[in-house]
Amino acid sequence: MTKRSRKSISIFDGNILRQAIVESLKKLSPHIMVKNPVMFIVEVGCAVTTLLFVRDMLTSGHASAPLWFTVSVSVWLWFTVIFANFAEAVAEGRGRAQAESLRKIRKDTLAHLIKDGIETDVSSTILARGDIVVIRAGEVIPGDGEVIEGVASVDESVVTGESAPVIRESGGDRSAVTGGTRVLSDEIHVRITTDPGSSFLDRMISLVEGSSRQKTPNEVALHILLVGLTLVFLLVSATLVPLARYSGITLSVTVIAALLVCLIPTTIGGLISAIGIAGMDRLIRKNVLAMSGKAVEAAGDIDTLLLDKTGTITLGNRMASELIPVGGVTQEDLAESTFQASISDETPEGRSIVSLIGLQYDTAGFKKKLNGMVEYIPFSAYSRMSGCDFDGIMIRKGAVDAICAFVEGSGGTVSPQVRQTAERISEGGGTPLAVSRNADVLGIIHLKDMVKEGIGDRFDRFRAMGIKTVMVTGDNPRTAAAIAKEANVDGFLAEATPEKKMALIKEEQAKGRLVAMTGDGTNDAPALALADVGIAMNTGTQAAKEAANMVDLDSDPTKLLEVVEVGKQLLMTRGTLTTFSIANDVAKYFAILPAMFAGVYPEIAPLNVMRLTSPASAILSAVIFNAVIIILLIPLALRGVKYRPLGAATLLRRSLMIYGVGGIIVPFIGIKAIDMVLKALGFI
Amino acid sequence: MNVYGWAQIFLYFLVILALTRPMGNYLYRVFEGERKPFPGIFGAAEYFVYRALMVDKNKEQTWKEYAFSLFIFSFFGILALYALQRLQFFLPFNPQTLEGVTPELAFNTAVSFVTNTNWQAYPGESTMGYLVQMAGLAWQNFLSAGAGIAVAFALARGLTRKANQAKTATIGNFWVDITRCTIYVLLPLSLLGALFLVSQGVIQNINPYREIVTLEGTRQSVAMGPVASQEIIKELGTNGGGFFNANSSHPFENPTPLTNFIEMVLIFLIPAGLTYTYGRMSGNRRQGWVLFCAMAILFMTGTAACYQAESHPNPILAGLPLDHSQGNMEGKEVRFGTSGSALFTVITTAASCGAVNSMHDSYTPMGGLVPLVNIMLGEVVFGGTGAGLYGMLIYAILAVFIAGLMVGRTPEYLGKKIEIREMQYAMAYILIFPVIVLITAAWSAAAPYGAGSVSNGGPHGLSQILYAASSAGGNNGSAFAGLNANTPWWNIMLGIAMLAGRFLMIVPVLAIGGSMAAKKDIPPGPGTFPTDGFLFVILLTGAVIIIGALTFFPALSIGPIVEHFMAQAGRRF
């Protein structure tokens, strides 16, 4: 199996950056800016200082501040807005690049529409929900739909990156087909299940491009905080004018605009939409299609995860795990006969038996003894056993009842130990197979539903994140308990029916927990829809995909780990940058306030703790720092703050140290450095 | 600074610490407990009030109904108090035959006492007769304190209650809360406290003012009145309106260092106790202690700074041959000294009390900065009765929102998610206060009718303006008394500031209570950000300082801060 991983795009991809520069200027249009009130205020500030500069330039004499100062502040204020737009444009550019690769899938193809038994060729773009089309070998499936007739092997690599073809057939859980994938063999009839423009891909493309991106609830709540702070600082700056005038200090509009822009949370305000777009983008690179940003955020809050047992936790086919001899039979003797009975068995169980024995014994020796005339007895549903006859020896392997009957029929006796062993294995969730030679039962093979390797570690990671895992299975409670223990899940739901699944989700939700569920079958659909986050496997049915709010193209149910991480990263990145942004204000005050008042109150000098060169350079340095920090934080906004499952208190302490305390200290250093550079370059 | 001063400060803190739990438990029993204390006496009185008011004590209100009841109640309170003042010349118990109060001053005073501010633009003994003092001002001292406590309980219920079974989320019944608060808490404590004050020399009579001949042979009029009964609720209810103009520095209000200490304890008694009550309501006492700790850190820092500043003389006087061992004694009573005065000042401004035992206007710039900052932080350092708790809880919600994001979860407080609506209300609460204070101050500073009341030049004049605006907006009531506030502009402007500072801010508080009451609570998990540990204390303290400081630092820097540097440099005005 080869995986074609989605092309990862460098943050500094030249094409995207070039486009982003153009975009960031286009976004200066006020009707776009007004969507982000924080940056809109900055733009208004820019406009005012620029007008002031123009006025001062034309009418010499009564300039409120030196001309070079007004123009420098104006330019850097513009940069602040442009940098913020640039961040958003880069994020959108990366999304668009992803969308481009998705869009290639959604080519306009010819569809053979069947109406009233007559086949007509139409463009795939006009197919509507309910239309029936026929697709033959070598053709591209024109839209998302459900197979209603036939069976075919389909190459879905465009969507999943998986090169091995998959079988799609009518009925059952493998009936869903995705538009853009190619039928390799046979012919299928498909009922289209989406209207034009609303297929999975269409919705996804518009989401990653940011065009239909709606602010998520948490983003809106944060926006309210930011707008509130902006209003506070607007008030602070505006009322400072009369308060200062009372003290005999005249503040120029330029200085007030500089103060305002430095105080309002431009860092987070400028990066907030880039963070959101980049989050969706990261998810797609993990091959998960999300229907809304809201679902991704909800994933970060998941408390309980329901997982299907088969195919998720276990491999889904039974594997030999142990050979148990009965009576006086030796382990090696049993192994030899079992090997001989299984060598022609091509079922997964048979192969697993051969490979288990191969791990412990030199099977070449066993094979040699089969040199003579060997007659292989294939498995039949009637006999429920298989095996081989050679040199007058009859070796059989099969269901315990069948072997017992066979042995007794051959004149042998079955010791009670055989049935006891078989029962014990059944109780433990395994399947026993008996092996006999002539009229003797040699022993029992323990077939087990094998838990996927490494799955326990993944569940440990879920646990560290505070997520409870629940295994859902149709097995009886005993079997379920055994597998649950081995797989290291926190709980299980045995003998699950769709009703029981729904009841479990409702019960968890009533306790205030957020529930995620992975599923693929049509019978999972109601539960997927009910869960707060439903992730459907791409191999699943259309019904399951429609009910879910995410689809995993790789059909890897533990992918939820990554989805949860992306969700948490989204919130963390917002939180840390907000903290950083607010903490920055402390240093800016110490730069700007002494500079504003030093003229009338020279005694205020001790407040100038950074010892900045002059009032003008102090204000300019703060403004430059404020703009540059946005650019410097773009990579962080796009990548997201790294999430570590450390427990909330530890996480918070780290973040507070880095972004809170760091946010207070960094600007002191940064502003001082900029001031020194300005001085060294002779600007001031 | 000396060891006795520090000893008094630490003893005071220990007494508050010791009283927090019993007071908190008592309040919990009164408001939330099944079995109320003294059912025979208090229960009967409560029953009688409900009968008279036709209140069904089992019927809970939604936040809107609760707010409406509170507003109606306060509106009629203002009307009645206004009428009492205007008409006092033909009402009884007015032995000095004081005239009716002017309309602006009557408006200002009525608003002032109903909003628990007790800003006084008048000298008590020469303006208000005994009937107005007893039936008007003292009456409102009880009820405005009770209203604040009621709102705090309403919010606390919203935050701590498990999801309501009923569809409509209710947060208690205003009439029940205010009745219980008065009957079970304020009246009995005031009765006991007033007796103690009388034993210490606080007067309690309705006699005409005494004419006496002093040792020097001059005639002097000594004001009389029912002082003890009003003094006690003035502190207990964090009201602060003095019977006399000199407030708690007057020997009839606060005669001894012991009464001074007890008065200080009374100011913090209920606000500190409420933190514990809140912890009990949330089912986790540490939730309450966390709030207490954050308040205590801010309080002790302020006290240390103020005491330190006041222990040093005015730098301009420092060179003169005077006894500087007591520090800056201008405007302070010798019987309280710098520590007893500085401590009282920090307490009265940390809580929204506003009673004073020394003149804040005469403090050193840094010493005066502390009370100003206390008010500007929103009076959440223990704060007013009820108002301190609900103010701090709003800060807690903001801190949880930002910090909660940093742990990668939708923020939740006490298991309830903080979403769009709560942020809208919390930001409204945060925004209203600076809007009131900064606009009032800026307008007054710019207009001659405002700035004309200032008595000092230079930055100290601006401090006076800032202090008046903050004190009114923050419902504190203390003053940098150098400002002549009894002018039409200041009376009306500060009246509006007090109204807005009280009622506009209560709306979002009750709204948050209502919307949180309706929410399902989520059981805490390992990913939940814990709000009952020391980390949250730091975070909460940081949030209060950062939000408060960022808002007012620019204005303060051209007020007390630059005044400090100039005093150090020896510049005079």
pLDDT over threshold 50, residue B214? yes
Do B445 and A243 count as a contact with CB atoms less than 8 A apart? yes
Q: Do residues A228 and B431 touch, judged by C-beta distance below 8 A?
A: yes
Nearest to B406 among A224, A513, A575 (CB): A575
**pLDDT (average), residues B171-189:** 95
* Closest-CA distance of chain B to residue A103, Å: 32
Low-confidence ranges of chain A (pLDDT < 70): 1-12, 60-64, 102-108, 158-164, 172-173, 197-201, 203-213, 311, 316-317, 372, 557, 684
Do A648 and B529 count as a contact with CB atoms less than 8 A apart? yes
Which residue in B has a C-alpha nearest to residue A465's C-alpha? B527
Do A218 and B405 count as a contact with CB atoms less than 8 A apart? yes
Of B373 and A547, the one with more pLDDT: B373
Residue B573 confidence (pLDDT): 72
Distance between alpha carbon A445 and the CA centroid of its chain, in Å? 41
Which residue in A has a C-alpha nearest to residue B422's C-alpha? A221
Phi, psi of A68 (to 5 degrees): -60, -30
Residue A316 confidence (pLDDT): 65
* Closest-CA distance of chain B to residue A511, Å: 7
CB within 8 Å of B176: residues ≥ 6 apart: B50, B55, B57
**pLDDT (average), residues B28-51:** 92
Residue A342 confidence (pLDDT): 83
Distance between alpha carbon B562 and the CA centroid of its chain, in Å? 28
Rounded Cα–Cα distance for residues A198 and A204 (Å): 9
Q: Which residues of A touch B434 (CB under 8 A)?
A: 232, 235-236
Residue B503 confidence (pLDDT): 95
- The CA R_g of chain A, rounded to the nearest whole Å, is 34
Q: Do residues A586 and B542 touch, judged by C-beta distance below 8 A?
A: no
Examine the residue annotation and report whether A308 is marked as an active-site residue of this protein.
yes
**What is the overall mean pLDDT for chain B?**
92
A235 in B contact zone (CB under 8 Å): yes
Do A653 and B535 count as a contact with CB atoms less than 8 A apart? yes
Residue A255 confidence (pLDDT): 92
Q: What is the distance between the terminal CA atoms of chain A, rounded to a whole angstrom?
A: 65
User: In B, residues 543-562, which contact A (CB 8 Å cutoff)?
Assistant: 546, 549-555, 557-558, 561-562
Nearest to A232 among B434, B465, B539 (CB): B434
Of A437 and B297, the one with more pLDDT: B297
User: In A, residues 654-683, which contact B (CB 8 Å cutoff)?
Assistant: 655-656, 659-660
Length of chain A: 684
B570 in A contact zone (CB under 8 Å): no
At residue B69 the predicted structure's pLDDT band, cuts being 50, 70 and 90, is very high
**pLDDT (average), residues B105-128:** 92
3-class SS at A240?
helix
Nearest to B571 among A249, A569, A603 (CB): A603
Model confidence pLDDT, tens digit, residues A640-650: 988 887 778 88
User: In A, residues 562-601, which contact B (CB 8 Å cutoff)?
Assistant: 567-569, 571-572, 574-576, 578-579, 582-583, 585-586, 589, 593, 597, 601
Which residue in A has a C-alpha nearest to residue B522's C-alpha? A512
Least confident of A431-440, B156-165, B491-500: B156-165
Of A520 and B288, the one with more pLDDT: B288
- Measured CA to CA in angstroms, residue A613 lies from A588, A591, A605, A668, A679 at distances of 15, 10, 12, 14, 8
Q: Do residues A604 and A57 touch, judged by C-beta distance below 8 A?
A: no
Phi, psi of B210 (to 5 degrees): -85, 135
A462 in B contact zone (CB under 8 Å): no
The single residue listed with the structure tokens 């709980």 is: A491
Interface A-B, measured as beta-carbon pairs within 8 A, has a size of 206
Nearest to A466 among B459, B525, B551 (CB): B525
Model confidence pLDDT, tens digit, residues A165-187: 777 887 766 778 877 788 887 88
* Closest-CA distance of chain A to residue B455, Å: 14
**pLDDT (average), residues B21-37:** 93
Burial-class residue A5 by CB neighbours within 10 Å (0-12, 13-18, 19+): exposed
Of A155, A308, A520, A675, which one is the catalytic site residue?
A308
Which residue in B has a C-alpha nearest to residue A262's C-alpha? B550
Q: Which helix (H) or strand (E) holds A322?
A: strand A314-325
Q: Which residues of B touch A232 (CB under 8 A)?
A: 430-431, 434, 550-551
- The CA R_g of chain B, rounded to the nearest whole Å, is 23
Rounded Cα–Cα distance for residues B541 and B546 (Å): 9
Phi, psi of A397 (to 5 degrees): -140, 135
Q: Which residues of B touch A240 (CB under 8 A)?
A: 442, 554-555
